[in-house]
Chains A and B, each alone.
Chain A
């Protein structure tokens, strides 16, 4: 089980309580689809993803980005049991959505960059380390039920 210090818990809690989910969620997913274009293959029902402009203004992408970011709330509320918290979602992504688990890391990297861009110099090395630890645990939990 992953251990969290009080400092790490409060860093993670602060990051999320200051995030505008409706802004950050879409930005993270848009970035992922543009920077790692093969990830678009999972979103063929989203309509126009033909260029960066289309992706950036696609309302289905935006809505999905918000949904994914709210999905992180579950980890936030259950930091001592992230693996169990995401077991069902992991099964869903593996068996129904057939998402390559490598992609979880790509999205988490894009989220890190969006948060860094938002916080600027307030995204200190210590905060980066803690945020990356949190996302790595989420990524690992989402990949856990794959076989």
Chain B
């Protein structure tokens, strides 16, 4: 189990409080699909993903991003129990959605970059270190049911 200091807990919560899930969620998913285009393979049902403009305007992409951030909220509120919190989701991504677990890391990196764009210098090096520890713990939890 990952151990968290009081400072780490409060830093993660402070960053999370500054995130507007509706605003940031839509951007995150567009970033993943544009920067790592092979991830589009999971979203055949999302319609037009043929150009950057199409991806940026696609409402299903935006909605999916918001859904993923809402799921991240669970981790912020269950930092001591992420594996159990994400066990079902992990199994779903493994067995049903057949998502390559490397993709979780790509998404984590895009989330961090989107947060950096929003918070700018408020995402200090120390905050970044703590945020990355948190998000990679989420990535681990999401990979935990892959066998």
Interface residues of A (CB under 8 A from B): 30-31, 34-35, 52, 55-56, 109, 112-113, 116-121, 123, 125-126, 128-129, 132
Contacts known (A129-B34, A129-B35); A31 close to B128, Cβ less than 8 A: yes
Q: Does B8 contact A (CB under 8 A)?
A: no
Query: Are A34 and B129 neighbours in the complex by a CB distance under 8 Å?
Result: yes
Contacts known (A35-B132, A109-B109, A125-B31); A116 close to B116, Cβ less than 8 A: yes
Chain B residues touching A, range: 20 to 34
Q: Does B113 contact A (CB under 8 A)?
A: yes
Q: List 16 A-B contacts (CB under 8 A).
A: A30-B125, A31-B125, A35-B125, A52-B125, A113-B116, A117-B121, A117-B123, A120-B118, A120-B120, A125-B35, A126-B52, A128-B31, A128-B34, A128-B35, A129-B34, A129-B35
Complex Cα–Cα for A121 and B117 (A) = 6
Contact indicator per residue, chain B 95-138, by CB within 8 Å of chain A (1) or not (0): 00000000000000100110011111101011011001000000
Query: Are B34 and A125 neighbours in the complex by a CB distance under 8 Å?
Result: yes
Complex Cα–Cα for A69 and B118 (A) = 24
Interface residues of B (CB under 8 A from A): 27, 30-31, 33-35, 52, 55-56, 109, 112-113, 116-121, 123, 125-126, 128-129, 132
Complex Cα–Cα for A118 and B117 (A) = 7
Query: Are A113 and B128 neighbours in the complex by a CB distance under 8 Å?
Result: yes
Instruction: Name the A residues within 8 Å of B27 (CB-CB).
Output: 125
- Chain A nearest CB, measured from B46 CB (Å): 16
